[in-house]
Amino acid sequence: MRVRKLSLTLAAAAAVAAAGMVVAQDQEPIQPIAPPAQINLGLVELGKKLYFDPRLSKSGFISCNSCHNLSMGGTDNIPTSIGDKWQQGPINAPTVLNSSLNVAQFWDGRAADLKEQAGGPIANPGEMAFSHTLAIDMLQSIPAYQREFKQNFGKDKIDIDQVTLAIAEFEKTLVTPNSRFDQWLLGRTDALTAQELAGYKLFKESGCIACHNGPAVGGNAFHKMGVVQPYKATSAAEGRSAVTGQEIDRFTFKVPTLRNVELTYPYFHDGAANTLTEAVDVMGRLQLGKHFTPDENAKIVAFLKTLTGDQPAFQLPMLPPSSDATPRPNPFK
């Protein structure tokens, strides 16, 4: 199993460390991603089904995986998402990978945790456009779901808390350990090339690390977009001030994780930067007042690409079929 293999990897790394090789981990401002701990496997299996089940949407077509595609770094790779009836979403979909490490969920942090977040999209008219009641009716009409919920929660009635708990438990497994950068942190000195290491050095010395740090290389704080120079966004989102009501939080966003950033293009809350080269250039100028040369930029990009870890590996869940009593989807009205 995947989890066991990963802990063996860590054990192997620890053995390398014990053998006296350089271990930088303790001094570095970025820490390795740990495999998921204390996971309820039954709940994960249920949550995985729900994550992939488009019947939680009005159209019967949109699942969590539509916008957070686990074959594409947990994102949709488009500037802003497509919701019910092809509606254009207001903001870029962040990755679900390593989202359990976030200080809060959403760009403005308006959901405290994954469980609270998971209720949002199902009932959001611009996303899955369903309601919690309709979602429960759908699940309750399918005997195999009834049984699986009962096995996990011991109750006859399904409720939305059970649904969001299960999805959140599955999301906790979506961590991506064992990137080349983490191998380097854990003591494999040859895991990075000289160019990648030079990029990491620039990332630290230029000041990127002040905001992008910790295991997720971000996700743990809110900061202004456009510290030195203003950012002209193509989206109307105002950032954290929408949650706090404080003027000082205007245009402050959760610092995105840079884990797997090679896979999660396009970048920024409005999805306006198509490439890492562009994102690094904008960050340098707007956040730090630094103009990187093409060579410096390429080094930082090379470093960022070492943050791609093992992607979640599991069998696609088979969803239980609808019963005669299951309400039918409504894709076009």
Q: Which residues are near ligand HEC by CB under 6 A?
A: 62, 64, 66-68, 81, 83, 89, 91, 93-94, 96, 99, 102, 105-107, 114, 117-118, 121-122, 127-128, 167, 203, 206-208, 210-212, 223, 225, 227, 253, 255-256, 258, 261, 264, 267-269, 279-280, 283-284, 287-288, 300
CB of residue 163 to ligand HEC, shortest distance in Å: 8
Residue 176: name the closest of 304, 45, 39, 308 by CA: 308
* Sequence-ordered alpha helix ranges (H) in 212-307: 241-244, 276-288, 294-305
Torsion, Cα of 288, 100, 121, 242 (10° steps): -40
CB of residue 247 to ligand HEC, shortest distance in Å: 17
* 142 contacts: CB under 8 Å, gap ≥ 6: 320, 321, 322, 323, 326
Q: Which residue's CB is nearer to ligand HEC, number 1 or number 71?
A: 71
In whole angstroms, give the CA distance from residue 236 to residue 272. 13
Q: Which residue's CB is nearer to ligand HEC, number 177 or number 199?
A: 199
CB of residue 28 to ligand HEC, shortest distance in Å: 16
Q: Which residue's CB is nearer to ligand HEC, number 102 or number 220?
A: 102
Q: Per the omega criterion (within 30 degrees of 0), is the bond before 266 cis? A: yes
Known catalytic residues are 127
Q: Are 225 and 191 a contacting pair, CB within 8 Å?
A: no
For residue 76, the tally of other CB atoms under 10 A from its CB is 21
Q: Which residue's CB is nearer to ligand HEC, number 107 or number 184?
A: 107
CB of residue 241 to ligand HEC, shortest distance in Å: 13
Encoded tokens for 326: 């299951």
Bridge partners, residue 224, by sequence: 252
Q: By CB neighbour count within 10 A (0-12 exposed, 13-18 middle, 19+ buried), where does 324 fall?
A: exposed
Encoded tokens for 303: 């470093």
Q: Which residue's CB is nearer to ligand HEC, number 81 or number 326?
A: 81
Q: Three-class SS of residue 75?
A: strand
CB of residue 83 to ligand HEC, shortest distance in Å: 4
CB of residue 287 to ligand HEC, shortest distance in Å: 4
Q: Three-class SS of residue 267?
A: strand
Q: Which residue's CB is nearer to ligand HEC, number 102 or number 176?
A: 102
Q: DSSP secondary structure string, 105-118?
A: BSTT--BSSHHHHH
Cα three-residue angle 140-48-38, rounded to 5 degrees? 110
